[in-house]
Chain A
Amino acid sequence: MTPLIEVDDLRFRYDDGTQALNGVTFRLYPGECVSLLGANGSGKTTFALHLNGLLSGTGRVTVCGLEISKDTLPQIRRKIGVVFQDSDEQLFMPTVLEDVVFGPLNMGLTAPEATSRAEEALERVGAAHLRAKAPYHLSAGEKRRVAIAGVLAMEPEILILDEPTTYLDPPAERELARLLHELPQAKLLITHDIAFAAALATRAVFFESGRIVCEGPVDEVVARYDWNVRL
């Protein structure tokens, strides 16, 4: 099976000298849901930001057969949807509907096409009733659903979700897990929420000091690095 994402020996250093990625090699296959685990600052988010060209280090990154370059970025950003950790950063338009159509309109769709896609996406995440609301009036769970709708409206092949359960109460978390489980896209979950990862992910990779040090079934990776909360 051809991988959707191929990363070879990816290295990246921030301007302040921090070596965030130190030779990451990774594959994501169609239908997979991979959880990225690891301590804060271990390189998970930095790695994800490389996958749609928001950061660029050395090494090779290929998405759906396209190597990341300035010319391929618009195509790649249609194929990878990123749901950021802080929904407030993602929702910047005055109303929910305007925010969800932002991506499709940038893809060059006409206003009716983009609106139709946005309404479908809002329906799918159960947020159709919020379409006319201002994003800052929504609860954390609603914001998360709208942020996901904004990405789904672009019909990406791959979804990256950075700490998707932050600020969510257990029912909202459960609802999100159900929604993600139903979505056919390949997914990358960056999370510290082990129960959430175990419910959704088909495998996990563990980041340490900017490299992947272990991969396998979620429970095995969690057990190996003692990544559970307990007294």
Chain B
Amino acid sequence: MHHVVVERWSRRESPIHRRDARAKLVAALAMIVAIATTPATHGISAAAYSVVLLVAVFVARLPLGALVWRAALVLPFTAVFALASWLSGDPLRASALVWRSYLSAFTALLLISTTPLIELLRALEWMRVPGFVILIAQFLYRYLFVISEQAQHMRVAARCRAGEGHRLTFGGAAAALSVLFLRSYARADGIQRAMLARGFSGHFPTTIPTRFTYNDACFGALAAAICMGIRFAQ
């Protein structure tokens, strides 16, 4: 299944993968805050952030092309607002909307590609993120995959009977979507039962020990300093 790729990346071995999730979370937050607050006129800063992210991808030994492509998934959503800004005569703001959202998505993707989800959630707990938000994130992550799996099964079944060239009508697509959600609901129900049967009480336990070392502190501080340095350079 396709969804496992990011999870597999997150368990690789590299100097960034070895860092504590809290240090990486601080670094990613610093980068996103810096990107979000950089004035639209500072296009050169966007290039500097990109270089930092590219270096991180290189150090983490992740496939650049796949990351670039996956981060682009955010663009259709921002394109609407960017187009509205462009049409209202503010092209600078339009381009800033695009690079800010793209670089923020890339940063988030880099974080989850170098940190197993369970460690990341524990880092969020450490940052005092409310428990119900973490629980929702856990289930959202898990159930998005459930829906994706079900969609892939249905697609294979449809191809087997309709061939590659078959185009779905609007009515057919709507019916398929409703079936997809019903099937996903039933599947999610089964998963929840299996979790409850093994004592799940709202918290995902883990055996991974937390060790925040001097190197982790240096990594977090250095990354935050670089981001803020670029932000306030001009």
Contact = CB atoms under 8 A, between A and B. Distances in A.
Interface stretch (A97-105, A120-128, A206-214, A217-225): A97-105
A51 to B, nearest CB: 10
A19 interface: no
B195 A92 contact: yes
A150 interface: yes
Q: Classify chain B: how many residues form its interface, as a range.
A: 20 to 34
A77 interface: yes
Nearest to A54: B193
Interface in B168-194: 187, 190-191, 193-194
Which secondary structure dominates where chain A touches chain B? Answer: helix
B118 A98 contact: yes
Given A54-B193, A84-B193, A94 B11 contact: yes
A28 interface: no
Interface string A144-188: 000000110010000000000000000000000000000000000
Given A105-B205, A111-B209, A115-B207, A77 B196 contact: yes
Interface in A79-100: 81-82, 84, 86, 89-90, 92, 94, 97-98
Nearest to A73: B196
Contact of A151 (B142, B191, B198): B198
Q: Classify chain A: how many residues form its interface, as a range.
A: 20 to 34
B155 interface: no
Contacts of B4: 134, 136
B160 interface: no
A114 B195 CA distance: 17
Interface in B13-52: none
B193 to A, nearest CB: 5
A74 interface: yes
Contact of A89 (B8, B194, B201, B207): B194
B191 A134 contact: no
Nearest to A110: B207
B199 interface: yes
B81 interface: no
Contacts of A136: 1, 4
Contact of A154 (B118, B190, B196, B199): B199
A194 interface: no
Nearest to B4: A136
A92 B142 contact: yes
A52 B4 CA distance: 32
A150 B198 CA distance: 8
Contacts of B116: 94
A121 to B, nearest CB: 12
B234 interface: no
Contacts of A82: 194, 197
20 contacts: A49-B193, A54-B193, A54-B197, A74-B199, A77-B197, A77-B198, A78-B199, A81-B197, A82-B194, A84-B194, A89-B190, A92-B194, A92-B195, A94-B7, A98-B118, A98-B207, A102-B200, A106-B205, A114-B207, A134-B8
Interface of B: 1, 4, 7-8, 11, 116-118, 142, 187, 190-191, 193-201, 205-207, 209
